Structure 1
Amino acid sequence: MKYLIVLLISFLSCKTEPKTFSDEALQDTFLNLGGNSVTFKSILEAHKGKTVVIDIWASWCGDCIKGMPKVKTLQAAFKDVSYVFLSLDRGEDAWKRGIKKYNVVGDHYYMPNGKKCDFADFVNISWIPRYMVVNKAGEIVVFNVIEANDNKLIEALKK
């Protein structure tokens, strides 16, 4: 009986991953490479109807840099997918140097408020790199993986 109660409590306390972004996260602003402020909603709208891999990273992050070859492998295998890179770098110059230095290919945005913004609150960034997948219908199908070769991520891209 004890085990049944523990199992029931565990099941009921599990958080389900969100299927859509909150209004606050969608209205949060990022900077594009031209220095213009854009909402996260407009970033997603630019890729409407496509599967999107979101990579939250920073050029100072050792795990992010070590993971870049896996991202490049993913990009080679899934060429019809859009790749959006959201940077937690400490400054715009470091962000831009990191893109060039590591030859990061995709759409790039800088999070000027870092982890202190509505998007970061919604995503609850606890580790980077952090990968998410948004399907063609605009639903979040992978919310939190830390490896670009994670099976959940790859299976979501195959659909």
Structure 2
Amino acid sequence: MRIVVIVLVTLLFGSCAVFQPKKISVKPLEEKLITINRESITLKEILKNGLKRETIIQVYASYCPFSQDSFKDVVELQQNNKKINYVFLSVDHSYHDWKRGLETLKVKGSHYYIPKKGKGEIAKFLKLKTIPRFLLIDKNGKLKVFNTSKVSKIESKLNK
């Protein structure tokens, strides 16, 4: 009887575990994004360029008030962590809205537009329902922080 109870408790708590992948899966890495110059690039290519250091990815929309508020924290984070690679992925309504929104952003880093917005492979991987979303990737391409909405959670895991 004890064994049955132990198995049931293990299954119960095991099924409540939060999905925390170790790496970004293949499909999201191959999704096509758009550069500021309207060129096509994959997430895999973007991440390959910054693999020598930790990378923070923020998924946002320039029109979103929560995203706009988060940029204040990101600017502060950038001032204290200059050696980190910053990647910003926008789910704005259109390429032109995104370009217009970039004019007001004070964050520094690489900016890309996700044409499939919340319906592409990146959004599926992140289970993207709200923005902003942050990821922290270490030098080896492993996810240290997956899918948080707070810069403070990223800060606590930097360089650890």
TM-score calculated relative to the size of structure 1: 0.90
Q: How many residues are matched?
A: 156
| CA displacement at 1:24 relative to structure 2 | 0.8
Residue 110 of structure 2 is aligned with which of 107, 111, 119?
107
Q: 1:75 to 1:10 in 2, by over 3 A?
A: farther
The residue that corresponds to 1:59 in the other structure is 62
Question: Would the aligned equivalents of 1:74 and 1:149 in 2 still touch at CA under 8 Å?
Answer: no
Give the whole-Å Cα distance in 1 for the aligned partners of 2:148 and 2:9: 25
Find the counterpart in structure 2 of residue 154 from structure 1. Answer: 155
Find the aligned partners of 1:55 and 1:6 in 2 and give their Cα distance: 39
Runs of 5+ consecutive residues of structure 1 not aligned to the other structure: none
Paired with 1:10 and 1:74, the residues of 2 have a C-alpha distance of 38
Aligned-pair CA distance for 1:158: 2.8
User: Is 1:73 paired with 2:79?
Assistant: no
| TM-score relative to the length of structure 2 | 0.90
1:5 Cα deviation (Å)?
7.5
Maintained 8 Å contact 1:53/1:83: yes
Once superposed, what is the RMSD of the aligned Cα atoms? Answer: 1.8
1:1-159 to 2 correspondences below 5 Å: 8-13=10-15, 14-150=17-153, 153-159=154-160
- Higher Cα Rg, which structure: 2
Indicate the larger mover: 100-109 or 82-91.
100-109
1:157, distance to aligned residue in structure 2 (A) = 1.2
Tell me the distance in 1 between the aligned counterparts of 2:83 and 2:103: 23
Structure 2 unpaired stretches of 5+: none
Contact 1:89 1:110 (C-alpha < 8 Å) held by counterparts: yes
CA distance in 2, matches of 1:53, 1:106: 10
Distance 1:149 1:155, change over 3 A: closer
**In 1, Cα distance between equivalents of 2:132 and 2:12:** 28
Equivalent residue letter for 2:79: A
Percent identity between the aligned chains? 31
SS at match of 2:117: coil
Letter in 1 for 2:31: D
- Work out whether residues 23 and 142 of structure 2, in 8 Å CA contact, stay in contact via their aligned partners in 1: yes
